[in-house]
A and B are shown apart, each in its own frame.
Chain A
């Protein structure tokens, strides 16, 4: 076996330019697959991290009537904070959020919004809620940059907000924008206003009530659903992101499969030609004491070794390139606001060990198969005819 590898290596290098052409084309596939998949891995991670940081922590409890896609459900989606959550809220491992519908009037236009009440002292989410802990002449409010841009709002702006309380009665008050924050997570940004939860509770006449609880880590999951509260694990909450990444992956796969197939075709072609042109050599191996099966193995290893050389060559230019790429990132030219998903302006690819190992195995297996396929013919060759080089 060791001899076969040595021999295959020698033959491959001995084939010169043809080998290097195959190897370079195959190495492109290597590097491009890793780069392309790296973007998705990076995106997946960034999206999940951003969601965890800004919105979902380690998971959430939702009021059983809460439906983020149905604003009208909100009037029924709230309940008093259950006693078993009180301790975790007190020690900062859980954050209640109360959500109601409201309307703001920026520049005289009417803009329906979600009013979200959150505790100013929380530090579980990245939301700069400390800016809700100030005294201004109105209710302090923070909004996201996309919300601010869409409504031409700036820090220090005062505006009227209208809402309906628990009895269905309309009321209005003034809010003051104390901070505009930038986030990649549109679901805490677009068409929403964050104010102190105590203000919202008294405005809505829902004292001590909440719609959603976000907790810090997954340890609370053991509790499961409790009373009116439905457990939403981190995995459930990010499943949409996962779905989207999966769709993107499928799209990508079509693109780099074509590249890989072209590279494999070149190797296949070389193998077919080799077996035809190197009949005498094949006969010689048999005469020297190989079985035909061993020669099949030798040629298969030789072809498969293209993948190993490609990995080495790919590493030579690929590692600097991929490192530069990971540092520089790639701008997809879409904002999260347009996209509706957590997506950064610049995406930084992440190359995990499993990505690199997986790609290597994929390319190696594919190369081995296209090398083995034509080599099987050797097993049917008549060695005496091979020695004369007479097989057509």
Chain B
């Protein structure tokens, strides 16, 4: 065992990032910036919606960021970055043509095949729309694979709303119902007001044939789960994506652990019946 002959020393380190070129970048809100990235080595990132990457900026560090695009879209991937600290602030300084380090993709991601043939209800609050968007785009790109699609989107204020143009486009689609609400409206806002759970009054859910994908801040998650459960959606049809502190993405550093579960490995996507048993999940 001392010689560990079954595990020869690896020449390639999972800690060394590959490089990606930013091919498109723009501010979505005052706090969130959008990036489209193409891997430099010509080997596209092989990812699933809901997975995340560790974005690497040498001299500053790394930050786990959800991929907000769908692999059905082509040889790039997209990120939405909220300015929250050192790495994310530095990312906001980057623009089209700049290079970033990328490790990953990590995590399990959503499983679009598992919800095939079903109704899909998305509940996305705040920055949660970013990871949800990957699956939303997948579903629209494979629209025939799914039955009714409903999108509930919530933001604190109209100015905080991500992907406004895309949401408009979704709202105009005849093959889905898209409802948007803001906690606090301003004079320009003519849409729904109030917390996202209020939107449940405006939709109909066929509980036995619906998967609910809920992504947002922990507090929203709790109330949204309550709504779908009270409609009768089974617990294993409630899908969520959890955030934890993450460093390695490799199931080693321990930061992302919920009890014995490494969120960076087994998650960040879980079904509610699983998370609930963890006790420390939500």
Asked if A pairs with B, the answer is no
